[in-house]
Each structure stands twice: as C-alpha cells, then as structure tokens.
Amino acid sequence: MADSDRNTALEVARRLIRDKRWADALEKLDVMRSADPDNGDPDNADLWVMSGICYINLGRDEDGSDAFQQALANDPDHITANFNWAKVLTQRGALESALIHFQKVQPYVRDPLLIGMELAKVYHRLGYISQLLRLARRLTRLAPDDPEVWMMLGLGWLGAGCSDLAIKAFQRGVELDPDSAVIRNGLALAYQSEGRVEEALHEFQRSAHLAPESVEPVVNLVSCLLGIGKKMEAESILSALRAEHPDNGAVRRLWGFHRLVSRVDREAWLAYEARTQVVTAIGNVPVPEMSGPPWRGEDIGGRTVLVVFEQGYGDAFLFGRFLNVLKHRGATVIISAPADLQRLFEGQDFVDRVHVRDRDHGTYPEYDYWTLLGSLPLYLNWREGDLARDQGCLQADEALSKHWAARFQELHRDHPDMPRIGVVWAGYAGHFRDRYRSLAAAQFAPILSVGDVQFVSLQPGLASSLIPEHCIDLGPNLDDFATTAAIVANLDLVVTIDSAVANLAAAMGRPAWVLLDVGADWRWGDQPERTAWYHSARLFRQSKPWDWDGVVEQVCVALQEWAETWRHDHGMRT
C-alpha cells in the first residue's frame, strides 16, 4: 500500500471512529494491520490502539485488551496505548498496575481533566485518600463547573473522615447536576456518616428514583436503616433486592454481612466473598495483583501460604485465629500486613514471617498459594460451632509484658490494691460510622468516676487535656500493637467502644466490655451480652439510636459490682 493510500485509509478510519462507526472503522484497520508486506503495517502502534478502541466499543473487551498490549509491545511509551491499557486494568481491578500506566503518561496527556479523573478514580478505589484529596482539589480549580470533580472531592473528604466537608463538596456537585444519581448517593453517604440520618435516607431515595437500574443507593438505604436499628424495614427491602438481583455483588455482600449477625455458615461466607467484587463509594477491598495461585481449600501440608491482610485492624485480630488453623494443617504461614502489626504477629508461633505491606510493596516473598485474610473461614470450611476453638489465640510478647508489668508497679504504686482497667471511648475519626460508635469524653465520664479502680487510658492521639487526672494516660506510648497487647496483658479489664483495642483484647482472651450502638458490626452478633467470636467479651448495647446514657449507666453499675468481686477475690496486689 502506497504511503498516500495508507494516509487516506488512516484518515477514513479516524473519521469512522469519530462517527462511532466502530465496525466499519475496524474493517479498515484490519486491512491496514495486515501482515501482508505489500499492504499491511502490523507493527504500527497507532493502528493497534485504534483497533483496541473499536473492539472495546463493540463489546469485544478481550480483543481490545490484546490490541492495546500489542500496541505497547511495539511502542512501550505510546501515550494513548498506555492510557487505554490503564483503563482496561482499572476495569479488571488491577489498580496498582493501572496507576503505573496512568502516571507514566500523565505529563503528556493534553486534557488534564481527563487523566486527572481517571487517576482520581484509581486513588479512591485503592484507598489512597491523601493523593485523592490533593488531586481532587486541583481538579476543582481546573474545572470548577464540572460536577464530577466535586463528587471526587466529596469522596476524598468522606474517606478522610471529614463528612462535613464531604457534604459541602457533594452539595456543590448536586447544584451543578441535580439529576446525578451518583452524586446524590455520595451526598447521602456523607449525611449518614455525619449522623444526619433523615437527610441520608431522603437522598438515597432520590438517587434510587433517578437511577432505577442501579442497586447501590438501595443497598446503601438498607445499610443505613440497619445502622439505626430499623431491622424489619431493612430486611423487607433486602429480601426484595435479593429476589430481583440474586447475583448482584453489592446485594450479596450486604446480605452476607447481615446473615453473619445471626448465622456463621458456608452460605454467609460465600456471600462475604462479594466484598472484593463491588466498587462502591466507600468500603472497597482492593484485591492485590498476585502472580501465584489463590488458595481455595487445597491440601497445604508442607506448602507456603501468603495471607494478605485487608480492611481494618479489628479484622486482623478477629480473623487472626485462622492463621493458627493454617499452621495446624501443616502450612508455612507468611502474612502481608501493615507495619504497626509487624511485631505483634512476629511474636505469634503460628506465623513464620511478616511481610510489611507499607514498606515492601510489590516484592512479595515466594509462596505456593495466597489468600485474603477474610477468605480463610470460607476455604477452611469454618462454622459457628468451630468458633469455640482458637479463642484467645493472640499472645503478647513475654519480655514486653514483663517490661510493662514493672512500669505498672511504678505507675500504680500509690494504689496497689486497685484493679487496672483500660478504657477507650473514641475510635479512629476517619471511620465511616465513627459518630455512631464513639462517645464524647463527657458522655463516658460517669464510667471514669467509679471509685476504687485505676483507669488506664488507651486513647491514642487524644489531647492529654481530655484525660482525667486520676487516669493513667498511656496513649502516647502506643507506638504499635505489640506494645498495646503487652499493656492489655497487664490489665484486669478493658472497657471500650467497638475499636481495634476491643478486638485485640478479646482476641487475647482478656476480659473486655464493649459498648455498642444499635447498628453494631456483624461480629458482635445479635445476643444481648455475648458473641460467639469472643468468649471473653461482655456486650453493652444501646436500646435505641444515640442513647449512650442508658449504656453508660449499665456499665457503671456492672463495674461497681465487678470491682467489689475483684477486691474480694484478689485483695491487695503484690
């Protein structure tokens, strides 16, 4: 094909693409990419990129993927090929790889809003909140009248726990596009996180009305209802959702969470797996890009299993018991976890090695199988009856515990006859439901007024001015969870909200009293005072939304009785 003919054919193909005549354009491109030396140009990256775009728009995603990869094989620095391949990777959930390709071409893409929005979506799904906020704020300056950039800023603030700022961003997005169901769904989530429940329910309903084909706002509506104790209404809507959308990941995930409240069985764990398959405004669980096979229940005797931690610290302690089961089945157990869990899990005899995810990202050690931590109960075939085993499996480091025993002798020398009680009344402020689960210091104060006990604050990062003078403040000492575990090992009781400390203490088998709101997490079950997951935990539940006064009163009475029993049983501490 002569150059003039090739240029003419190329221009025709481009015009067909502009007109969205994908099949006609692809027919032209197929000829131009022909391996025929007289007519084809199979090494031309531009042709492969254009073909990939046509394939994607024709619904032939695999062919499109192959075309973009072929373009990159011919020209690794091709801007459009990298950009489109990154979009394919994003769709597949290969987010870290997508990020690499987007960042590679970011300086060269002519439309900064286009590349910026793609990067923002990846940052959001990966949970890179600080990067998302920096980028989204820049995009709002670049395109202040674009409603989607305000939506991304709202998601950033929501992820940072700043629901008040998220509301303002989403409201601006709604002003610019009142009919956007997605932005209204985000606004509803921000209202929910802020505790403005009626406004949240209203916006979820508006979003569902604007996009009747979308299940996300209805799923969020159900979750919101459950969070304020409206169980019957929520279950009715959820039942209808399951009937209409039995295979929808968001519906299956919510149903799995709800089922785990009352039943721990295979059906619940199968539904729980949907947590990795759903892209939502909050609570995404990115699946790591691994080269080896996932573990699906195969024999692991003599094999190495890499367990990737996910979600929050509480889940690390809750599911940590299953690492012990892997070890008992003959596996070498490697975990990939955040740095502040390293020392704690290095000290457990059922963990052979800790890969620090924050520091060693992308350089996983060799393994035979890998799995997400939360997937272990499914593939271990775990049932509620099995939960009686492996209670209190986490152990504090012996040397560190002795160190803190000596410290307490010094700190506690004025009151050696008093039991030591650790307290936590507020959790991580960035948690989506923190306004529901945490108490203000003033609300918790009556508990700290109970006499003849020594309170020990385990509140990290809280200003010392908020800690009562008679309370030993160890918050500044909590440099990682190995230290926290050693301190907890030297306490007689922990009184806490639903927090990482609650899960840690209970996973160690230490007595823990947990104050719960009406929409408490599934792990706390539906029994009044006990949960099958933690036999050493005693639960104190709200009877109605926001009513902490009743809970605090119950705890005060119980604590006075407990202290009397402790003094009778222990006498003077020696």
Single residue among 323, 357, 388 that ends a domain in this structure: 388
Using CA atoms of 431, 432, 436, 439 in order, give the dihedral in degrees to the nearest 10: 20
User: Which pair of structure tokens corresponds to residue 262?
Assistant: 């009352």
Domain membership of residue 162 (yes or no) is: no
Range of the domain at 437: 398-570
Single residue among 388, 421, 451 that ends a domain in this structure: 388
Residue 562: C-alpha distances to residues 447, 516, 570 (Å): 13, 20, 12
Cβ neighbours for 25, distance < 8 A, ≥ 6 positions apart: 13, 14, 16, 17, 50, 54
Q: Any idea what the CATH number is for the domain that residue 491 is in?
A: 3.40.50.2000
* Same domain flag for 494 and 565: yes
- What is the edge-to-edge ordering of all strands in the sheet holding 537-541? 472-473, 454-457, 420-424, 493-497, 512-516, 537-541
* Same domain flag for 381 and 511: no
* Same domain flag for 522 and 458: yes
In whole numbers, what is the pLDDT of the chain averaged over residues? 92
Domain membership of residue 204 (yes or no) is: no
pLDDT of residue 362: 62
Handedness of CA 65, 70, 73, 74 (dihedral sign): negative
SS3 456: strand
The percent of residues above 90 in pLDDT, for the chain, comes to 79
Residue 292 has pLDDT above 90, yes or no: yes
DSSP conformation class of 353:
E
* Same domain flag for 498 and 554: yes
Structure confidence by residue, pLDDT tens digits, 446-483: 999 999 999 999 998 775 567 888 899 999 999 999 99
Domain membership of residue 267 (yes or no) is: no
Residue 388 has pLDDT above 70, yes or no: no
* Same domain flag for 415 and 376: no
* Same domain flag for 526 and 431: yes
Q: Decide if 304 contacts 295 (C-beta within 8 A).
A: no
Residue 494 has pLDDT above 50, yes or no: yes
Nearest 5°: phi and psi at 467? Answer: -90, 125
Structure confidence by residue, pLDDT tens digits, 7-62: 777 888 889 999 999 999 998 888 887 754 555 567 889 999 999 999 999 999 99
Q: Any idea what the CATH number is for the domain that residue 64 is in?
A: 1.25.40.10
DSSP secondary structure string for all residues of 522-556: GGG-SSSS-BTTBTTEEEEE-SSTT-HHHHHHHHH
Domain count, the chain: 3
Domain membership of residue 157 (yes or no) is: no
Residue 148 has pLDDT above 50, yes or no: yes
Cβ neighbours for 57, distance < 8 A, ≥ 6 positions apart: 20, 22
Please indicate whether residue 363 or residue 177 has the higher confidence score (pLDDT). Answer: 177
Domain membership of residue 467 (yes or no) is: yes
Residue 405 has pLDDT above 60, yes or no: yes
* Same domain flag for 332 and 379: yes
Single residue among 368, 388, 408 that ends a domain in this structure: 388
* Same domain flag for 405 and 552: yes
Structure confidence by residue, pLDDT tens digits, 251-282: 999 999 999 999 889 999 999 999 988 877 77
Average pLDDT over residues 507-530: 96
* Same domain flag for 344 and 478: no
Nearest 5°: phi and psi at 101? Answer: -70, -40
* Same domain flag for 379 and 477: no
Beta bridge partners of 308: 336, 372
Question: 452 — alpha (psi -120 to 50), left (phi > 0) or beta?
Answer: left
Domain membership of residue 168 (yes or no) is: no
Structure confidence by residue, pLDDT tens digits, 202-246: 999 999 999 999 999 999 999 999 999 999 999 999 999 999 999
Structure confidence by residue, pLDDT tens digits, 520-567: 999 999 999 999 999 999 999 999 999 999 999 999 999 999 999 999
Nearest 5°: phi and psi at 28? Answer: -65, -45
pLDDT of residue 574: 39
Domain membership of residue 556 (yes or no) is: yes
- What is the edge-to-edge ordering of all strands in the sheet holding 369-372? 353-356, 332-337, 304-308, 369-372
* Same domain flag for 377 and 485: no
Neighbours of 547 (CB within 10 A): 12
Q: Any idea what the CATH number is for the domain that residue 381 is in?
A: 3.40.50
Q: How far apart (Å, rounded) are the C-alpha atoms in residues 409 and 238?
A: 54
Domain membership of residue 366 (yes or no) is: yes
Q: How far apart (Å, rounded) are the C-alpha atoms in residues 370 and 308?
A: 7
* Same domain flag for 404 and 545: yes
